Structure 1
């Protein structure tokens, strides 16, 4: 039985007690509800998340390396996250490379590619899309060294009763990202391209070039209709998917002050496209939450200019007006953005919650980090107090995903803390154990908000 049929059957079985489960006056109303909200799927209801008619608050994390590591290394992360009480992991659903060379690297034993936007392109021999000269377009690799890695992550999420935020691409060059699409277009025009990242100006062609947009839509369609090797379900039928995300941290600096609404128009078109294929899962933009107030207004309010002025071509207020975007996803890196601790950081978190509340949409604190470990616990404590609703009256988030969890590799060592933000999942890692405890306590606070229906729906 497929996932959709199983959930529909469960909905029909539950319909007999619909009056005691959900506030509908008749069975037909409940049937309509069940058809638009499949069992186990999280959905936005005003400014809240709901799942099976109950509130859904969560604590979670990010982990980009899951998509290319071994099964045991993937399982290590899920085991650790489960022990921490985390419910949602945000992962990369993209890993794009250039064109096959037909050669094998003598040291790694992996297939090699040329025209990559990110170094050698593949990660430990894994890649999701590559350029095919004969087809004249990018081709999806659904095999053992491709999407089957994503399939296994979804399987682990289901087994651990967890959910996933899955991105479609990346603004940055890591894992290929938008720049790889630009390189593919250059290849289609017969241009010679090397293994170096596309500059920022050319990256923004991703949002407006119709051929590139078509390739991006093709990938979305293939991914959503891809059948999971381990579960037999299409990805769009999986309750382990929390939401689809258009991109990691999209920006468009060539459209300063959003004068042409480049990012807004792209997000509106692409979120509607995702919903046209998969109307049941939520969609988010994945942006950092930058505002478009203009330099003068940012200065008048004494706000950090780059994050609030419109410099990055992002207008968080306007993005939240898109009907097919379900919730807000602000990020925050105070040491990269020049924010003052105890001032700019608190205002940033509060303001975004107020913005989404006005738009009647939920919000998650999707990425955040601080490298200074002498200040980190105190700062995280303040931030998480806001997120969990214990700092400003009437201000709360529906979820958070700290950057980032990591665990043990197959050789017994810990995955390296490359960016300085890692909070390790295993207990007893001295350098991050106190921060790990903070995350666990905040996740427990969020879980306590979930008043779940007690009716036994299997009856």
Structure 2
């Protein structure tokens, strides 16, 4: 009997089975999963790539009714936004009388609120987001909590008071500002410590924070609407509390690796991200150095084709060169337009140098030199970190020198555009997707509400003595800048661009909550004239605004909607 045909057939069947068992990029179980994952430099969900425009609405879990949450998410979804970033933390040192809170941190002990005014509110937001086809980024703590009250003789009222120094806006309710949800400095103070970076290194605080992350993450292991767990908003060495002399980029990177590993041990389904501002350090030592790509064969490209360049890490020389080239182009354009601002003085019709020399050794600035203890490239290269992230807030951070050859707002726009392309390059060198998790520019109409992230003071509010100076860009300049940044990000290959912040009107107002009425609820006791019904007091309000809200700005929403269509088609 000849067994060879049967043996051959058996081997063929085994080979076919083995080949079928090897996952391909298109049939990989993870690629076809309802959970967002990464495939090289892109996001994948349900077997399709995902690029998106998003918005920040940190305040969503503090709204007073489920109807308000539903309507807000409905309005966000209606313009094509796909991702909402919000706070998944709300820490207090004493239990407030009204409103939402998630965790009590008091004298080194912690208690998580799983009640209807606690994490159940976060559950509601996530469930409704899923029904609207939205994803949520859950940020787990904040670098900013500027509410000292350490030397104050005025006690806080219902835990809602702000710093009581002169000029401070201490009339806003708790949770109104993005920096009034507790966070790192609350842990440090309540554990009896002194410096901000002890949050990253103290064993007791690390245990406490990991316990809280366990409580949150374990709730949403099977929720496909969670885009990622963001370890912290804008983590760095310093905050309201100072940094110690020992805090370095390695301190912050090590903390990220520790917490990301902890979350991964609980939840294998979701992405983990950083939330850093994107600060780079070209010369800092790396805990997770880039692995050099193997050199391609030395072959000439086909006729008519350009040689494809590999993504390279950002260098100090590159940053300075790009700034110099942009300044030169602006100078030439200003010369052609007759608006050139010359250096020196004019003598007999000629410009003569004043003798002041330009800085001989230009610097890249604090966003590139590790001053904040952050090296976002090193953090992005941590294996458990799924993608690179950065932020863009020129009202709070300088991203480059002012160029006198263009209008101030144009200098801001151009520095921001360079920041975006630099971040895209850095992420490409790591080989992971890149997201701009928050960008904003304060307008003149929003200036009275503007409160910097490390402050409780609205410096341009009407009641502030320094408010006499007009601050902010015009609405048209903001629209032009947002359009430029969005187009730059899409062209540079960003996978997600998230605006800061969403604004919502006609929200239910309740005393002592984030959305509080401007007057006492109810009706006036007597009619203002015979036969006239009592005048109702205000019972609705607007969402929080720390200077960036889109409330009343249909232009920004239209820009975001257009960008959502553009990035999805890109």
Q: 1:161 to 1:256 in 2, by over 3 A?
A: farther
SS in 2 for 1:247: coil
Alignment of 1:181 onto 2:187: yes
Higher mean displacement: 351-360 or 289-298: 289-298
Change (3 A) 1:363 1:142: same
Q: Call closer, same or farther: CA 1:415–1:251 in 2, change over 3 Å.
A: same
Q: Kindly tell me: are residues 141 and 257 of structure 1, through their superposed partners in 2, closer, same or farther at Cα, counting changes over 3 Å?
A: closer
Unaligned runs of 5+ in 1: 1-23, 101-109, 112-123, 187-197, 227-234, 390-394, 450-459
Q: Could you tell me which residue of structure 2 aligns to residue 456 of structure 1?
A: none
Give the corresponding residue for 2:168.
none
What's the offset of the Cα at 1:318? 1.2
Residue in 2 that maps onto 1:90: 85
Is the aligned partner of 1:314 residue 2:303?
no
Partner-residue secondary structure (3-state), 1:176: coil
Counterpart selection for 1:332 from 385, 392, 413: 392
Counterpart CA distance in 2 for 1:327 and 1:87 is 17
Deviation at 1:73, TM superposition (A): 1.9
Moved more, 53-62 or 303-312: 303-312
| Pair 1:440 & 2:561 matched | yes
Deviations 1:227-255 (A, max 9, x none): xxxxxxxx111001000010011011437
- Cα shift readout 1:410-429 (whole Å, capped 9, x = no counterpart): 257552563221123xxxx3
* Structure 2, unpaired ranges of 5+: 1-17, 146-179, 285-314, 322-361, 400-410, 443-472, 510-538
Cα shift readout 1:162-193 (whole Å, capped 9, x = no counterpart) = 1100011111112000112113312xxxxxxx
Which residue of 528, 540, 545 corresponds with 1:418?
A: 545
Aligned to 2:477: 375
**1:362-381 C-alpha deviation (Å, 9 max, x unpaired):** 01111000112241111111
Aligned partners of 2:371 and 2:56: how far apart in 1? Answer: 27
Using the size of structure 2 for normalisation, the TM-score is 0.61
For residues 119-167 of structure 1, the C-alpha deviation after alignment (integer angstroms, 9 at most, x for no partner) is xxxxx5211111367xx62011111110010000011111101110001
Q: Give the structure 2 partner of residue 263 of structure 1.
A: 252
Matched-pair contact (CA < 8 Å) for 1:256–1:310: no
Secondary structure of 1:337 counterpart: coil
- Select 1:345's aligned residue among 416, 441, 455: 416
Query: Which residue is 1:217 aligned to?
Result: 210
- Counterpart among 280, 299, 305 of residue 291 in structure 1: 280
Deviation (angstroms), 1:98: 1.0
| Cα offset, 1:51, TM superposition | 0.6
Q: Aligned partners of 1:252, 1:440: CA distance in 2, in Å?
A: 36
What is the TM-score with the length of structure 1 in the denominator?
Answer: 0.75
Moved more, 248-257 or 262-271: 248-257
Post-superposition Cα deviations, 1:254-305, rounded to whole Å, max 9, x if no partner, equal 3789746110110011111111111220000100001124699589556651
How far the C-alpha of 1:25 sits from its partner, in A, is 5.0
Q: Deviations for 1:58-93, whole angstroms, at most 9, x for unmatched residues?
A: 111000110211212211210111111111000100
1:308 counterpart SS class: coil
Alignment of 1:63-142 (within 5 A): 63-70=57-64, 71-100=66-95, 110-111=96-97, 124-131=98-105, 137-142=109-114
Query: Cα gap change, 1:297/1:141 in structure 2, threshold over 3 Å: closer, same or farther?
Result: same
CA shift in 2, pair 1:38/1:221, >3 Å = farther
**Preserved contact between residue 90 and residue 165 of structure 1 (Cα < 8 Å):** yes
Aligned length: 372
- Work out which of the two has the higher radius of gyration on C-alpha atoms and give 1 or 2: 2
Partners of 1:236 and 1:31 in 2: how far apart?
Answer: 24
Change (3 A) 1:31 1:314: closer
Residues 9-88 of structure 1: pairs in structure 2 closer than 5 A:
26=20, 29=23, 36=30, 39-70=33-64, 71-88=66-83
Q: Distance in 2 between matches of 1:317 and 1:274?
A: 21
Cα distance, 1:347–1:28 mapped onto 2, change above 3 Å: closer
SS in 2 for 1:264: helix
Distance 1:258 1:305 in 2: 19
CA deviation string 1:175-232 (max 9, x = no partner):
000112113312xxxxxxxxxxx9xx62211000011000111111111223xxxxxx
Of 335, 341, 355 in structure 1, the residue corresponding to residue 426 of structure 2 is: 355
Structure 1 segment 240-255 matched on structure 2, within 5 A: 240-253=225-238, 254=243
Aligned alpha-carbon RMSD (Å): 2.8
C-alpha distance 388-414 of structure 1, shift in aligned 2 (>3 A) = farther
